[in-house]
Amino acid sequence: MRKKLTFLFIIIMFASTVPLFTKNVESLNTDTSSGTVWSEHIQPRLTVNNTHFIYNTTWGLYMFPKLQPYICSYASRNNEVMVSFSTFWVNTSKPLSPFNPTVLIADNTFFKVQVDAYQLATKAATLTQEWSFNRSDKPKISVKLNKANWNYGSFKIFWVVSGWNYIKDEAKAINCDATLTYWRKGVSVEVVKNENQTEWDKMLIIDWSDEGLADVYYGRLNLFTYNLAVVKVDFNVDDTYVDPSLVGTSTSAYANSYPFQRKEFYANGLIWKFYSDGTNMVYKTSSDGVTWSAATAIREATYGYRFSVDFNGTHLAYAYASSASGDSLYWRMGVPNSDGTITWSAPEQVAVAGASCGIHLLFLANLCA
């Protein structure tokens, strides 16, 4: 079965005046003067100039240079460049170089490009990228490797992202301008511009959670003719397709909104993914990112943006608010088990009594601390 990769570059902005309700829970109320989150959706639109294919989307600008259309850069809706270089390539026993890039399709919602991978004068394979853009969902990409004269043993498709140089690791930042280093297995990475926490009002989220666990590296990498400080994601050995797996269906258009809220983590050999099915807050688990358990309901939640989840390595916790005026902020903590169940520490509790303006969007920071 073909697996699929869903991924997202997105900028999240909060003003410094966002109220701190407790030392562990932050909230953005319905007064948009306290922060900015882009909620309006726009139809994707392709612009072609002398040098680039440029997609203007709900999530920002995705730009592909005509000379190297297998490379993407990304700018926020504010036109701030956060990713200067991103591409997918192949690790093998011998280095491969890109040749003969060809744009096969370029319209307002779809971009398809292929590039040959050569080892010296021998064509080893062709990589094809397909990008899908639409009004309301995150951009999706699929990468396919077709072998030609392949004599290089096992391989891994990998993804590199370069631009902002600091991985956000809870309360500290890891500088990617270093020797290439293995970090951990994961399903997403949060990237910030610098080490100064007071300037972490913007965040780049690199997400491949629908693909499942992958090995994450950071540091300097020589690739093609470039030397870059990167986040590098290595997918499964000998996997010729990188594409989304179906996690669940939902009647809610906001099943796992918003991207700055945490909705998944890895614990006890399982990927845990939380979303709204249109009626309830539910979760599924998977050991490989391909085959998923049945959904388990936790509580009522018609929209995904009404809750967020945190995991500290031992405990998980969620916070929930309905956004109705006067409603409270609710909280619950438990332990995720290796069989896919959760052992709750106590029933759901009121964390913050109702506010007259209503609590609208939630961002959890070290909720389990």
Q: Is residue 348 part of a domain?
A: yes
Q: Which of 210, 242, 274 is the last residue of a domain?
A: 242
Whether residues 271 and 192 share a domain: the answer is no
Tell me the residue range of the domain where 151 lies. Answer: 40-242
d(CA 214, CA 7): 13
In a domain, 15, yes or no: no
Q: Using the predicted structure, report yes or no on whether residue 73 has a pLDDT greater than 70.
A: yes
With a cut of 50, say whether residue 185 has pLDDT above it: yes
- Shared domain for 304 and 207, answered yes or no, is no
d(CA 356, CA 360): 11
The 10s digit of each residue's pLDDT in 275-291 is: 888 889 999 998 877 67
Cβ atoms of residues 137 and 152 within 8 Å:
no
Q: Give domain status of residue 34, yes or no.
A: no
Judge if 164 and 278 occupy the same domain: no
Across the chain, mean pLDDT equals: 81
Q: Residue 255: what pLDDT?
A: 58
> What tens digit of pLDDT does each residue of 17-28 get?
222 222 222 222
Whether 178 has a pLDDT exceeding 80, the answer reads yes
- Looking at the structure of the chain, the number of domains it has is 2
The pLDDT of 16-43, averaged and rounded, is 35
Question: Both 210 and 278 in a single domain?
Answer: no
Q: What pTM, to 2 d.p., does this model score?
A: 0.67
Residues 54 and 121 in one domain: yes
Contacts of 255 (CB under 8 A, 6+ apart): 248, 275, 276, 277, 278, 304
Identify which of 4-8, 231-235, 241-245 has the greatest average pLDDT.
231-235
Residues 206 and 336 in one domain: no
Write out pLDDT tens, residues 308-353.
Answer: 888 888 999 999 988 777 788 889 999 999 999 999 999 999 888 8
In a domain, 18, yes or no: no
pLDDT of residue 317: 92
Local confidence band at 140 (pLDDT 50, 70, 90 cut-offs):
confident
Q: Which carries the bigger pLDDT value, residue 315 or residue 15? A: 315
Instruction: Check the CA dihedral 148-151-155-158 and report its sign.
Output: negative
269 and 328 in a single domain? The answer is yes
Answer yes or no: is pLDDT of 246 > 80: no
Residue of higher predicted confidence among 219 and 209: 219
Q: Please identify, among 242, 273, 289, the residue that sits at the C-terminal boundary of a domain.
A: 242
Is 31 inside a domain boundary? no
Whether residues 69 and 105 share a domain: the answer is: yes
Pair (100, 173) in one structural domain:
yes
Residue 103 within a domain: yes
Quick one: tokens of 267?
A: 């614990």
Same domain flag for 228 and 320: no
pLDDT higher than 70, residue 357: no
Residues 80 and 148 in one domain: yes
Give residue 40's pLDDT. 62
Residue 28 lies in a domain: no
Whether the per-residue pLDDT at 251 is higher than 60: the answer is: no
Residue 25 lies in a domain: no
pLDDT, tens digit (0-9, with 9 covering 90-100), for 97-135? 999 999 999 999 999 999 999 999 999 999 999 999 988
Task: State which of 193, 210, 242 marks the end of a domain.
Answer: 242
Is residue 229 domain-shared with residue 269, that is, in the same domain? Answer: no
- Looking at the predicted structure, is the pLDDT value of residue 7 above 60? no
Higher pLDDT, 69 or 197: 69
